[in-house]
Amino acid sequence: MPAEPTGSWAQARSRALLSEGDAAERLYREAITHFTKTRLRVDLARAHLLYGEWLRRERRRNDAREQLRTAHGMLETMGMTAFAERADRELRAAGGTAHQRTAPARHEELTAQEGQMARMARDGLSNPEIGIRLFISARTVQYHLRKVFTKLGITSRSQLDRVLPSGPGGA
């Protein structure tokens, strides 16, 4: 995982707010691309929200709805109610609706391999360390952990303690 930004990505998002046309779009996309590679989920969600708002003002409703749905889902999952409501209002203004949230899947719905990876991640192992133990690549571990997070309704490793029972048979 790359180092956290020194501010340049946040600056790109901020410069996008002050820009117009192609320059603004390029800066929004740059910010989203870079925030996707970090653990800064709040900044990523806010970048999607701001980009979606900008797209709606540019009358690009379909593109706006995609960004706003992404922002709404992320913000709602993080418990950032005010921002999630803002994304929902913008989404409705763009002619869309937020997808109905379903109850998060329970840990019993994880496959055996997903459960094993989730326990290892909960216990502090990195993706490369998990990969070595399971004889798979770190990218494959990352892919499966994304699926685990979706199934469990969480957004980070730090939340695994909350949703997985402790102990070796935790998932």
What confidence score (pLDDT) does residue 1 get?
44
What confidence score (pLDDT) does residue 105 get?
45
Q: What is the CA radius of gyration of the chain?
A: 18
| Average pLDDT of every residue of the chain | 79
* Residue 145 near residue 118, CB atoms below 8 Å: yes
| Residue 98 φ then ψ, to 5° | -70, 145
pTM of the model: 0.52
* Residue 121 near residue 145, CB atoms below 8 Å: yes
Cα 42 off chain centre by: 8
Whole-angstrom Cα distance, residue 149 to residue 34?
21
Q: Average pLDDT, stretch 8-29?
A: 68
Place of tokens 């997903």: 114
Q: Pick the more confident residue, 101 or 142.
A: 142
Residue pLDDT, tens place only, 113-132: 888 999 999 999 999 999 99
Query: Rounded to whole angstroms, what are the CA distances from 55 to 11, 32, 48?
Result: 19, 14, 10
Residue pLDDT, tens place only, 31-72: 788 778 777 788 888 888 888 888 888 898 888 888 888 888
pLDDT bucket at 10, cuts 50 / 70 / 90: low
